[in-house]
C-alpha cells in the first residue's frame, strides 16, 4: 500500500497527544486515592496545551489526505458502519473535551467537573485510537493488517509515545516520577517490540489467495499475467503497490527496529543502571521513538499487500503450482 | 429485488478494448464525468478508467491459452466498499443494486477503494473524488434514448457481442439464462462480496482433422503430422 504522509503525521501527533494526556491525567486521578502523584500546576497546563496543539496539528495534517477538506465534517454521517467515521467523531470530541478539561483546570473549577471532563477526555481519546487502528485491522483485503496485532501495536504505540513524552516533561516539573516512568516507558517499548516481531513473523504464515482464486479457476492450472491493459501505472498499481517502497523495505525494516526499539531501550536502561538521570537521555528517547515510529508506520503501509494486486501479478506468491505432473505447495515468498 | 449486472463471455471476448474505450468516451462527457486524464499524449499517460482489460495465459507451454478479462465494478451484492465510507457517499441502490458514488458527498478519503478486492474504484486527481463504473445508469433509464440504446455503452459497442446486460435476479432475463445455461462464474468468490457481474467460462475448442488430410498422398501430410504431435 502507498504510505500517505498526512496519516503518518496524524498517528504521531494524535499518539503523543492522547498518550501524554493519559499519563498526565492518570497521575492527577491517582492523587485522589492518596498517591503522591499530583502534578505541579504548570506541568498539567503545559501537558494539556501541548496535547491540544498536537491534536489540532494532527487534524489539520490528516485533512491533507482528503480530496475535499471543506467537506470533512460529512465524515460523521456513517458512524454506525464506518470506523473512519467513528475515528473522526471520537477524535473531534476528544479535542473538544480536552479543551474543556484544560479550561476547567486553569480556572480552578469544581474538582468534580475537572475530573468529569478528564475522564471523558481519556475515554474519548482511547476510543479514537481504537477506531483509527480498526480502520486498518478491519480491512480483510490486506491480510498483513487484518489481525488484532495491528490494534495492539497501535494502542501500545500511543503508550510508548505518551510515556516517553511524559518522562521528558516530568523531569522538569516533578523529578520523583522520573524513575517510575523510565520503567514504564521501557515496559511499553519492550511490549511494542514483541508485538512488532509477532506482526512480522505472522506474515510468513499467512494463507494467501492466489491468482487462480481471484479468477475462480482450478488450483492446478498454471496462470500468468500477460498484459494489464495499460502501458503505464494507474491508480490501482500505485495506491496498492508502492514499488519504490518495496525495494527499500529490506533496509527500512531493520532501521525502524533499531530506532524505535533498540535505541530507546539502550538509552533508558543505561540511565537506569548507571544512575545518570540527565535530561538528554529522555529527550533523545522521545525523539528516537517519534522518528522510529514514523519510519515504522511508513513500513506498516508498504508491508501491506492488497489482494487486488493479484490481478496485476504484484502479489506475493503462495499456493499450489503444477510441476511435472504433480501438485506442489509453494512456500510464501515475501519479497522485502 | 432487482440486481442489474453485466455478464461477460470469455469465449468471445477478443480483448480489443472497445468496451473500455467506449466506456471512457461515454462517461467522460455524461452525467458521471469527466474521467480526467493527465499527460494523455506524453510519456506517462495517467487517468481514470471505469473498465480495464487484463490478459492472462493459462496452461504450460506449448499447450497454453490466452484469455482476456474485462474488469469493471462488479456491483457486489454484499459490497464491502459501501459500509466503510464515512460519509455515505458510496452507496448501493435498493431498486436495482447499482453501486454508486455521490460526488457531492465524497471527501476523497480513498477508504472505499482499499475495501474493494477487485481494484475497481479509481480516484480522480482532478475532481478529488472516487469514481467507478455506474453501470451507465444515465443511459439505461434515459427515456429520450431509443429503447434498444438503453444499455451500457460498453455492451452496445462490443464487436464480439461478448457483453450482456440485465437483471440477474429475473428468471426471464437474458443474463439469468446465460448464467444458468453456461455456468456463469464470479471473480474471487471467497471474498464474501457476492459480485453481481458474472463471467461465462471458456470452453475447449477441439480441432477436427478430416480423414483425407491425414492420407499420406496429401502434400501437406508431413506438416500436419508434425504440428499435431509436437506436444509429445
Ligand atoms: S467491485 Fe469493488 S467497487 Fe464494485 S461493488 Fe464490488 S467491492 Fe464495490
Ligand atoms: S473516497 Fe469518497 S466514496 Fe470513498 S469512502 Fe471516502 S468519502 Fe466515501
Ligand atoms: S456499464 Fe457503463 S460505466 Fe460500467 S464499464 Fe460499461 S460503459 Fe463503463
Domain residue ranges of chain A, discontinuous segments joined by +: 1-138, 164-336
Does residue A336 carry a pLDDT above 90? no
Pick the residue from chain B with its C-alpha nearest to A79. B86
C-alpha distances in Å from residue A147, one per residue of A151, A317, B140, B151: 8, 20, 42, 43
- Half-sphere exposure at residue A155, Cβ-oriented, CA atoms within 13 angstroms: 12
pLDDT of B171 reads 96
**Does the distance separating the beta carbons of B69 and A223 come in below 8 Å?**
no
Instruction: Please give the Cα distance from A129 to A155 (Å, whole number).
Output: 7
Q: Estimate the crossing angle of helix A148-173 against helix A41-63, to 10 degrees.
A: 140
Pick the residue from chain B with its C-alpha nearest to A325. B60
Does residue A334 carry a pLDDT above 70? no
What grid cell was written down for A115? 475530573
Does residue A172 carry a pLDDT above 70? yes
Which of B52, B62, B61 lies closest to B23 in space, CA to CA? B52
Does residue A57 carry a pLDDT above 80? yes
Does residue B195 carry a pLDDT above 70? yes
Tell me which of A3-12, A75-84, A176-185, A202-211 is least confident: A202-211
Exposure class string for A119-158: b at 16+ Cβ within 10 A, else e: ebbbebbbbbbbbbbbbbbbbebbbbbbbebbbbbbbbbb
Residues of A in contact with B44 (CB under 8 A): 232-233
Within-domain flag for B218: no
> If you average pLDDT over every residue of chain B, what do you get?
91
pLDDT interval class at A205 (50, 70, 90): confident
Strand B51-58 and strand B65-72: pairing? antiparallel
Tell me which of A63-72, A95-104, B113-122 is least confident: A63-72
Distance of CA B124 to the CA centre of its chain: 20
**Does the distance separating the beta carbons of A222 and B59 come in below 8 Å?**
yes
Instruction: Please give the Cα distance from B193 to A290 (Å, whole number).
Output: 39
Q: Estimate the crossing angle of helix A83-106 against helix A5-32, to 10 degrees.
A: 50
Within-domain flag for B212: no
The response to whether residue B128 sits with its C-beta less than 6 Å from ligand 2 reads no
**Does the distance separating the beta carbons of A311 and B118 come in below 8 Å?**
yes
Which of A268, A265, A273 lies closest to A196 in space, CA to CA? A265
Instruction: Please give the Cα distance from A294 to A256 (Å, whole number).
Output: 9
Residues of A in contact with B88 (CB under 8 A): 77-78
pLDDT of B163 reads 97
**Does the distance separating the beta carbons of A66 and B109 come in below 8 Å?**
yes
pLDDT of A222 reads 87
- Of the residues B13, B88, B114, the best mutation for testing chain A's interface (the one with the most A CB atoms within 10 Å of its CB) is B114
Is pLDDT larger for residue B217 or for residue B84? B84
**How many beta carbons lie within 10 A of that of residue B183, not counting itself?**
12
B110: contact with A, CB 8 A cutoff:
yes
Q: What would the pLDDT profile of B157-189 be if each residue is shown by its tens digit?
A: 999 999 999 999 999 999 999 999 999 999 999
Question: Looking at the partner chain, which of A82, A213, A308 has a beta carbon nearest the beta carbon of B85?
Answer: A82
Pick the residue from chain A with its C-alpha nearest to B44. A232
Q: What would the pLDDT profile of A280-332 be if each residue is shown by its tens digit?
A: 999 999 999 999 999 999 999 999 999 999 999 999 876 444 444 444 455 55
Within-domain flag for B149: yes
Q: What would the pLDDT profile of A104-128 be if each residue is shown by its tens digit?
A: 999 989 999 999 999 999 999 999 9
pLDDT interval class at B228 (50, 70, 90): low
pLDDT of B224 reads 67
Q: What would the pLDDT profile of B44-75 be if each residue is shown by its tens digit?
A: 999 999 999 999 999 888 888 899 999 999 99
pLDDT interval class at A335 (50, 70, 90): very low
Say what the ipTM of the complex is: 0.89
The mean per-residue pLDDT over the stretch B84-109 comes to 96
Residues of A in contact with B109 (CB under 8 A): 65-67, 75, 84
Q: How many residues does chain A have?
A: 336
Residue B106 domain boundaries: 4-200
**Does the distance separating the beta carbons of B128 and A227 come in below 8 Å?**
no
**How many beta carbons lie within 10 A of that of residue B44, not counting itself?**
9
pTM of the model: 0.90
CA A288 – ligand 1 centroid, Å: 41
pLDDT interval class at B129 (50, 70, 90): very high
In terms of C-beta density within 10 A (0-12 exposed, 13-18 middle, 19 or more buried), how is residue B195 classed? buried
Does residue B123 carry a pLDDT above 90? yes
Residues of A in contact with B38 (CB under 8 A): none
Scan for cell 513500513, then name that residue.
A299
Is pLDDT larger for residue B22 or for residue A232? B22
Q: Percent of chain A, pLDDT > 70?
A: 94
Domain count, chain B: 1
The response to whether residue B90 sits with its C-beta less than 6 Å from ligand 3 reads no
What grid cell was written down for A60? 489539520
**Does the distance separating the beta carbons of A234 and B57 come in below 8 Å?**
no
Q: What would the pLDDT profile of A256-286 be if each residue is shown by its tens digit?
A: 999 999 999 999 999 999 999 999 999 999 9
Instruction: Please give the Cα distance from B232 to B227 (Å, whole number).
Output: 10
Instruction: Please give the Cα distance from B172 to A189 (Å, whole number).
Output: 64
pLDDT interval class at B214 (50, 70, 90): low
B86: contact with A, CB 8 A cutoff:
yes
Amino acid at each position: 500500500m502507498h504510505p500517505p504522509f498526512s496519516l503518518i503525521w496524524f498517528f504521531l501527533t494524535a499518539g503523543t497527544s492522547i498518550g501524554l494526556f493519559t499519563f498526565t491525567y492518570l497521575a492527577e486521578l491517582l492523587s485522589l486515592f492518596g498517591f503522591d502523584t499530583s502534578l505541579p500546576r504548570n506541568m498539567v497546563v503545559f501537558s494539556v496545551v501541548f496535547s491540544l496543539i498536537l491534536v489540532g496539528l494532527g487534524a489539520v495534517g490528516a485533512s491533507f489526505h482528503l480530496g475535499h477538506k471543506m467537506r470533512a465534517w460529512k465524515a460523521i454521517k456513517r458512524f454506525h458502519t464506518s470506523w473512519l467515521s467513528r475515528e473522526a467523531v471520537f477524535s473531534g470530541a476528544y479535542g473538544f473535551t480536552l479543551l474543556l478539561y484544560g479550561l476547567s483546570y486553569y480556572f480552578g473549577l469544581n474538582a468534580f467537573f475537572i475530573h468529569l471532563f478528564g475522564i471523558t477526555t481519556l475515554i474519548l481519546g482511547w476510543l479514537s485510537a481504537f477506531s483509527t487502528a480498526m480502520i486498518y485491522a478491519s480491512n480483510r483485503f490486506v491480510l498483513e493488517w487484518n489481525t488484532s496485532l495491528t490494534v495492539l501495536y497501535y494502542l501500545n504505540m500511543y503508550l510508548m509515545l505518551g510515556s516517553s513524552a511524559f518522562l521528558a516533561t516530568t523531569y522538569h516539573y516533578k523529578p520523583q516520577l522520573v524513575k517510575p516512568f523510565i520503567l514504564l516507558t521501557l515496559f511499553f517499548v519492550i511490549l511494542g517490540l514483541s508485538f512488532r516481531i509477532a506482526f512480522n513473523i505472522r506474515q510468513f504464515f499467512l494463507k494467501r489467495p492466489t491468482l487462480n482464486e481471484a479468477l475462480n479457476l482450478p488450483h492446478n492450472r498454471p496462470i500468468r499475467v500477460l498484459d494489464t491493459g495499460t502501458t503505464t501505472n494507474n491508480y490501482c498499481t500505485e495506491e496498492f503497490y508502492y514499488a519504490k517502497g518495496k525495494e527499500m523495505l529490506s533496509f527500512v525494516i531493520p532501521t525502524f527496529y533499531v530506532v524505535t526499539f533498540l535505541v530507546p531501550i539502550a538509552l533508558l536502561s543505561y540511565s537506569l543502571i548507571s544512575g545518570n538521570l540527565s535530561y538528554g537521555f529522555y529527550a533523545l528517547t522521545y525523539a528516537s521513538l517519534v522518528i522510529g515510529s514514523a519510519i515504522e508506520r511508513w513500513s506498516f503501509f508498504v508491508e501491506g499487500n492488497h489482494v487486488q494486486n493479484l490481478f496485476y501479478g504484484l502479489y506475493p506468491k503462495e499456493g499450489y503450482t503444477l510441476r511435472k505432473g504433480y501438485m506442489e505447495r509453494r512456500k510464501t515468498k515475501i519479497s522485502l | 429485488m432487482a440486481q442489474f449486472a453485466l455478464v461477460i463471455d470469455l469465449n468471445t471476448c477478443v480483448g480489443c478494448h472497445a468496451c473500455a474505450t467506449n466506456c471512457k468516451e461515454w462517461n467522460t462527457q455524461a452525467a458521471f464525468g469527466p474521467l480526467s486524464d493527465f499527460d494523455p499524449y506524453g510519456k506517462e499517460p495517467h487517468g481514470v478508467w471505469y473498465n480495464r482489460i487484463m490478459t492472462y495465459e493459462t496452461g504450460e507451454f506449448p499447450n497454453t491459452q490466452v484469455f482476456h478479462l474485462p474488469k469493471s465494478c462488479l456491483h457486489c451484492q454484499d459490497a464491502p466498499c459501501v459500509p466503510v465510507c464515512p460519509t455515505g457517499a458510496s452507496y448501493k441502490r435498493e431498486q436495482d443494486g447499482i453501486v454508486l458514488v455521490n460526488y457531492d458527498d465524497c471527501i476523497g478519503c480513498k477508504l472505499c477503494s482499499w475495501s474493494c478486492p477487485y481494484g475497481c474504484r479509481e480516484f480522480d486527481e482532478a475532481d478529488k473524488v472516487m469514481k467507478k463504473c455506474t453501470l451507465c445508469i444515465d443511459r439505461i433509464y434515459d427515456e429520450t434514448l431509443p429503447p434498444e440504446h438503453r444499455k451500457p455503452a460498453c455492451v452496445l459497442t462490443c464487436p464480439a457481442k461478448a457483453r450482456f446486460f440485465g437483471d440477474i435476479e429475473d428468471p426471464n432475463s437474458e443474463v439469468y439464462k446465460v448464467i444458468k445455461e453456461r455456468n456463469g462464474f464470479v471473480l474471487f468468490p471467497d471474498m464474501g462480496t457476492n459480485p453481481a457481474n458474472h463471467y461465462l467460462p471458456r470452453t475447449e475448442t477441439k480441432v477436427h482433422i478430416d480423414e483425407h488430410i491425414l492420407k499420406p498422398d496429401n502434400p501437406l501430410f508431413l506438416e500436419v503430422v508434425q504440428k499435431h504431435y509436437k506436444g509429445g
